[in-house]
Amino acid sequence: MPPISSRSGARAVCARLAGAHFRGLWRRGVALLPAFGLALLLLPAGIGEGTAMPVHPRTLAPAAVYSTDFTGFPKWRGMLERFSRQLAAPDGADAALWRAFVDRLRGGDRAAQLRAVNAAVNAIPYVTDMANWGRSDFWETPVELLRYGGDCEDYAVAKYMALQALGVAVADMRVDVVDDRQLGVTHAVLLVAADDDAYVLDNLTDEILPLEQTPFYRPVYAINEHGWWNYGPPPAATAAGP
């Protein structure tokens, strides 16, 4: 694993589209929004109280408030619904595209799968939501990412779905929205539990980093198909969520 200081190679530059999009460059181009701006897009519609977080044998992140209420996550729910429809479509084109992508990642142990999935998804072109969909934020399905490219949360979602197709349990994964305290932006990554540790799959690097080697990421919330975790005050108090 490279030292954390290797992130100093990452830098942000202004992008167009009337706005505050930033492209972080580290091994490949990745666009990000400033923390306040992207928080308005990635945060749930309302962060409320939840139940106690269920017991998990591995620590995926610091203590958080857990909830199974997805009311504040219309973009997450919409992505799941569209993905289900795409895989079940009568013509089978989307299902074949996704199956071919996943099949070439099969084989090896958990660590090898994490590396293969992270690198394969990271190789997909970065494209802003505004360029793809004409809106400031849109959570793509993995099929849409393969067809059109996407941004940080789309990479994280595709890795989540690919690993699930390869046999990784939902309970061992979370799409994690974080404050990047080095770059001053809000970002999304995938957390995966393996070998009694937690690992970060990040579109800023093909390296798989143990969670403890990413102190520059402060979790805001995390989500999977079972529930979501609120890690405390977000950079913006309320916002339209994923």
Structure tokens at 86: 């795409």
If pLDDT is split at 50, 70 and 90, which confidence band does 64 have?
confident
Read off the amino acid at residue 181.
R
pTM of this prediction?
0.78
Q: Give me the pLDDT at residue 138, please.
A: 95
Over the stretch 23-48, which tens digit does the pLDDT of each residue have? 332 333 333 333 434 444 455 544 34
The yes-or-no verdict on residue 174 having pLDDT over 60 is yes
Of 181, 213, 217, 182, give the one whose Cα is nearest residue 197.
213
The yes-or-no verdict on residue 139 having pLDDT over 50 is yes
Domain limits, the chain = 9-230
pLDDT (average), residues 138-161: 98
Q: Give me the pLDDT at residue 185, please.
A: 87
Read off the amino acid at residue 38.
L
Tell me the CATH architecture of domain 9-230. Roll (3.10)
Structure tokens at 165: 């197709």
